[in-house]
Structure 1
Amino acid sequence: MQETAHSPATPPQISAEHRELLDQMLDKWSLHVLDRLCEQPSRFNELRRAIPAVTQKSLTATLRRLERNGMVERVVVSTRPLAVEYRISSLGKTLQDLIDALLRWTTVNMPEVERARERFDEQT
């Protein structure tokens, strides 16, 4: 079997471009927003209620960054008054399995991480 340039045996190199995108996708709030929008489209205030710790400024910045990167779509809903709804884009939907896997991994491994933290803190 011939290996391709991106086979598991030869993973792609992390370039500055990749690092920047990963930093933006894995920042403090993006996974929360993406996880929520994978479930259902939401208005800004619905997202704020779903993620109570996020500030208005941080949520605005996160949504703009996700929209710029093509992960989220901002849709004007023709209601009275006009409303804006955020939806996961088709590109963003490709992340759903990865997001679910990350969340499952953290759920399963959090006890071990906590034990490692305790051991580290005891040694320092």
Structure 2
Amino acid sequence: MSVGHTVVTTEPVVSCGGEDENCGIREVLDRIGDKWSVLVVVELAQGMRRFRQLQRAIPGISQRMLTLTVRRLERDGLVSRTIHAMIPPRVDYELTPMGHSLTHLVRALADWSADHRDAIAESRRRWDAATPGSQVR
């Protein structure tokens, strides 16, 4: 995998005026609200993991997407990465104290999703059946 495919892009920091109370909130929600970040945080809440352990624990995540996700979470200060000098190198990931402070919120969201999965699926089926040509993708 080339380095260019896993580089974390950065946007310029925009300074906010005092009247915009939502400044910065969207950036944080974009990071912690994407499905891969949520699943990585849920998994790391259980303890330190190596890269392959994370990949096996999160069905459907590609190596590239996991690399991007942990790098972004590391950049935001939610995950720390420890490289052990050995052959082959060993890399461990774990939540930082700030990352741990997020786990109860992410866990609540994951629990809510699991609790309501069937009801949401049924609601979608009813809506799709009642609304011709409405297949939302």
Q: TM-score range by the shorter chain?
A: 0.7 to 0.9
Task: Give TM-score scaled by structure 1 length.
Answer: 0.81
Aligned residues: 112
Q: Superposition pairs for residues 1-124 of structure 1, below 5 Å?
A: 15-124=22-131
Q: 1:52 to 1:114 in 2, by over 3 A?
A: closer
Amino acid at match of 2:40: V
Letter in 2 for 1:91: M
Question: Where do 5+ consecutive residues of structure 1 fail to align?
Answer: 1-12
Relative to structure 2, which stretch is displaced further, 60-69 or 75-84?
Answer: 75-84
Rounded to whole Å, the distance in 2 between the matches of 1:70 and 1:95 is 12
TM-score calculated relative to the size of structure 2: 0.74
Deviations 1:53-77 (A, max 9, x none): 1111111110011001111001123
Q: Deviations over 1:8-30 (max 9, x none)?
A: xxxxx872521121111111201
RMSD (CA atoms):
1.7
Identity %: 38
> Unpaired segments of 5 or more residues in structure 2?
1-19, 132-137
